[in-house]
Structure 1
Amino acid sequence: MNYQLENDRTILENRLVDAQQEINVLRELCRTLMQKRQIEEKVAEKLSIQSLNDKDEKAEQKTAKQEDESKTTMSTQQRDAGIAGPSKSELSEEGQREKGQSSQSSIVEPLRIEIQEGTMKEPTHTDIKRKLPIGQKDGKAMADQSKRPKMPKESKRAIPEWKPMTRRELLTMKRPATFATPEYRLSRRLPGPQNGQPFKYPKGLAFIGNRLAVCNSDNNMVQIINQDDMCESVLGTFDGQFPKPFRPINVAVSKHKHYFIIDDGNLQIVVCDETKTIIKLIDLRLLGADSPTGIALQNGFILVTDQKVSKLMKLTRDGKCVGQYKEGFPHSVAVNSNDVILVTDNATSRIKCFDSSLNLLHQYCTPGNDNGQLLYPRGIDVDEQNNVFICDWNNHRAVKFKPGGEWQCTLFQIRCPEYIAVADDGRVAVAGETHCIEIYVPSE
């Protein structure tokens, strides 16, 4: 009963961590939307000012046209009546005199109150805004009135551009609707073996020839499944041998078919064979581990990643640490035929390559959702040609890189892929967010 309660507590803690990560993502999304809204408001304000200038210009042109028409009509009527109108010199002198009075009144007394027939008339809002003569209604300004200076029209290029996005802001980027044409097709989806326990939060995977080892994490076992989806063996009935329930997270298999299983419930590595005989127990707590997630084998050594303590460790078969690299958030590890160690780093969304002494050789990829970019990479594996297969977790896809780190293709899309394994015949197995394993084969 205590084991079950402890197991449930661990599951709830993991889900709480996931929920906290989702909350952080939503906060970043809200902040980005607020910045976008502020920019849109600034652009709308500039457009409204430009529209107001255009309206003023049209109104002034209309007023001037109406005055010209009225003068033309008046002169025509005077000519028909035989009345001589004022000479050009008189009109010019009168216009200059009125212009001087108008400019003086607009500068010295812009807000004076005009007294007409014993009543006080205040200037309206429109009068003040458009600087028309006091008491004059909109659209009846004098032709010689000085025009209000207009604001320069803003060009479309003056709209502020987005600043370079940080790594956190990349999480809120709109993902492409579709990626490149998938190079692999879904062969089948396994909710569990036909003759065994169904999967419940499956984790690490490893191919042994044509068979597949699956860490059925929340069911406390590792299942060996053949090509007919039948369970041939179950590793994990270690009743009473460990203080806490056995909870497998990842698995690696040696050439002698010895299984190296990360037991997250007891923070240890269980080394056993298919007869469930325990060969070795390696206590990872003595090495400072907290939440190991990745494991691989290299020339008799064990490679373990722990992203919670930012460690890549190299252990002997006896559990002695002979080297470590402490940086970033390493999640999974794989080794190619040239003994190059490849690690997915969640901190930088990059793939780091090490030699046998854990010296950093080079790294590739950048954070993003385009070809050649990753967001929170998780599982990793290599095939016989040293091609690299990666779970691009936050972009919901599995991708393939060439041995030198060049982008090759998007294999397929899958929601939140976490662990991946490649068989000798080209099959690819992926464990994602669902309670099943998806098997993909190359498209014809």
Structure 2
Amino acid sequence: MKKTLLSPGLASRLAPARLALRSFGVALATPTGPGAPLFADVRNRWLRMLPYAVAFGFVCSLLPVTITVLMQDYEVNGAVAGALATAQTAPLLLAVTRPLQAWWIIGVADVLGAVVLLGADGLDGRSWPWTPMVVVGYLALMLALGLRESRKALLGVWLVTGAAGFVLTAVRPKHDDGVHILLFVLSGVVLLITATLRERGDAERRTQEERARTTLLEERARIARELHDVVAHHMSVITVQADSAPYRIPDLPEAAREEFTSIAASARESLAEMRRLLVVLRSDGTEGERAPQPGLDRVQQLIEATVRAGVPAELSMAADLQDRSDVPQAVDLSAYRIVQEALANVVRHAPGARTRVSVRSEDGGIVVVVVNGPPPGSTSPLEGGDGTGHGLVGMRERVRLTGGTLDTGPLPDGGFRVAARLPLRTKDGLP
């Protein structure tokens, strides 16, 4: 009969520790794919290259110093010193995108270097098991790890770092100068700070994405409500025309009468379905949406309201757009909403900035351009500059609805430009 080495009570108490060690081992052994380096989302090309430049700077400074110190101070063979120095420093370039893989290479090289130094003639009185260059390079590696890897992987890296140092010094305690404790503490501090900063940035980014997603859904619901009004008008006209056709057209065949009756019934059924859907979309109880939908004829009112808000704005509208009979209602409404949101953004983010609004016909479509200059130096934005651009979300949805294009972006003088092109007809030639 076999006897267990551990009592059942002790085994149950050690079970969480075994599970934690296994979890750390899985996290460390799971290779991570190439990730986006720091500043990957920055538009400036030089800032995107900054992490590579920093890593290259560490390699260029640490590599020759490590070779020199190993050869002259620790009296290591030149070939061995070169190989160790390369393995301990060159993977820092890999750490920009794959820090966990770089840690495995550098960690093994550091431990191997500590073993090699045990046989070196110049070890007495010098740092061991980690040389000063190893400490500097390892902390740089911890910086890359903390900004990329999971909390579980970082804890595993930190524990392995401490365990490696304590095991090596336990083998040769006479060479212990406390550098392994220094590295253990400093690496933990760096990992804690960088991981905290990264998690905070991730939380803010998730909040902004959720806010943008909510805004997108709200804008789509608003567009759906407005489309109901546009489509309902045309369906009502079809219903009236189909019902009155037998009375307006004399000697109409019976088959044609039945066809008109069927058309009218289908139109009324479609209207009923849309009204049921509209009840859901208008469940917030807003009555303002029931008012007639605005269009290009009310853009001048927007300009006047913007001027009253303290923004010097001017409008240039083509004369052929004064008559809106050829403009589809969806395009007419979208053009108005784009101008409305663009002017609202100027009032919020650049109060007092001179603004120009241009609405013109061009190549079978309507081009809406809203350009504002930089805000006066004596005024401050009503909202901070860290907004998520939710107004642009609505503009993009409306432009996508009509099959048009949208171009937005800052200007060199500090202003902003919004340019939208809305086609009057689809590719099939339908309005």
TM-score bracket, normalised by the shorter chain, equals under 0.3
* Structure (1 or 2) with the larger CA radius of gyration: 1
User: Which of the pair is proportionally richer in helix?
Assistant: 2
User: Which of the pair is proportionally richer in strand?
Assistant: 1
